A and B are shown apart, each in its own frame.
Chain A
Amino acid sequence: NAGVTQTPKFRILKIGQSMTLQCAQDMNHNYMYWYRQDPGMGLKLIYYSVGAGITDKGEVPNGYNVSRSTTEDFPLRLELAAPSQTSVYFCASGPSGHSGANVLTFGAGSRLTVL
């Protein structure tokens, strides 16, 4: 039972490069999320999706793009990487939009450094 799988675990990028963080879940959850965690800070929402084909911005979406073509996958694209995007990225999924039922399951995280 894999849960939420994120790849890669670690990546170093040069300023201006682009990359995609992959996220896959095998729990048939409709709701998926991308958060970032900076040192000493809580998790901030980048983008979320309530189902295949539907995405929406969170608190800190600038510099990122997402797509949701299947229920299982929710990749996060970084265009023109900047040092401010150095962070740990967490993907999560949940079964329902109803808050009482939506306990999120998180992946192990992807640590990205932009130099």
Chain B
Amino acid sequence: DQQVKQNSPSLSVQEGRISILNCDYTNSMFDYFLWYKKYPAEGPTFLISISSIKDKNEDGRFTVFLNKSAKHLSLHIVPSQPGDSAVYFCAAFSGYALNFGKGTSLLVTP
């Protein structure tokens, strides 16, 4: 049963514009959320995280927003760059391990 859901398999954005990647979760006990970025033939790399006691965390061009009442989080990338083209995974901590969504493939076009 998928507890972390990314309902958009793919997203295409023009360079310089905002990319918004969405993620929903079902388990209200999740207390920490992370976004990972993955390039082909590489392992996922950590991008940004947010604790459930916050509603926003920012790191340079990347901002994650958390809406606990809606069990929804989103990753904003501003401005988007071609090098941001990758698969983005939303993940939440459950026990000792990360519970991943299926990922959203972002393509940033020049």
Q: Could you list which residues of chain A lie within 8 angstroms of chain B, going by C-beta atoms?
A: 4, 31, 33, 35, 40-45, 48, 50, 56, 58, 90, 92, 97, 99-100, 102-109
Q: Which of B11-42 contact A (CB under 8 A)?
A: 31-32, 34, 36, 41-42
Give the distance to chain A from B33, nearest Cβ to Cβ, in Å: 9
Instruction: Determine whether the beta carbon of A90 is less than 8 Å from that of B51.
Output: no
Interface residue? B68 (CB, 8 A):
no
Instruction: Determine whether the beta carbon of A43 is less than 8 Å from that of B89.
Output: yes
| Chain B interface bracket (under 10, 10 to 19, 20 to 34, 35 or more) | 20 to 34
Distance between Cα atoms of A48 and B94 in the complex (Å): 13
Instruction: Determine whether the beta carbon of B103 is less than 8 Å from that of A99.
Output: no
Write out the residue numbers on chain A whose beta carbons fall within 8 Å of the beta carbon of B32: 99-100
Instruction: Determine whether the beta carbon of B45 is less than 8 Å from that of A106.
Output: yes
A/B interface sample: 13 pairs, CB < 8 A: A31-B96, A40-B102, A42-B2, A42-B89, A42-B100, A44-B100, A48-B97, A92-B43, A99-B93, A104-B98, A106-B43, A106-B45, A109-B42
Interface residue? B4 (CB, 8 A):
yes
Instruction: Determine whether the beta carbon of A103 is less than 8 Å from that of B49.
Output: yes
Give the distance to chain A from B73, nearest Cβ to Cβ, in Å: 15
| CB < 8 Å neighbour of B97 from A40, A58, A105, A106 | A58
Distance between Cα atoms of A107 and B102 in the complex (Å): 19
11 additional contacts (CB under 8 A) given A42-B6, A108-B42:
A31-B96, A40-B102, A42-B101, A42-B103, A43-B44, A99-B32, A100-B51, A102-B96, A103-B34, A103-B46, A106-B36
Given A42-B102, A100-B51: A90 and B44 interface contact (C-beta under 8 Å): yes
Give the distance to chain A from B57, nearest Cβ to Cβ, in Å: 12
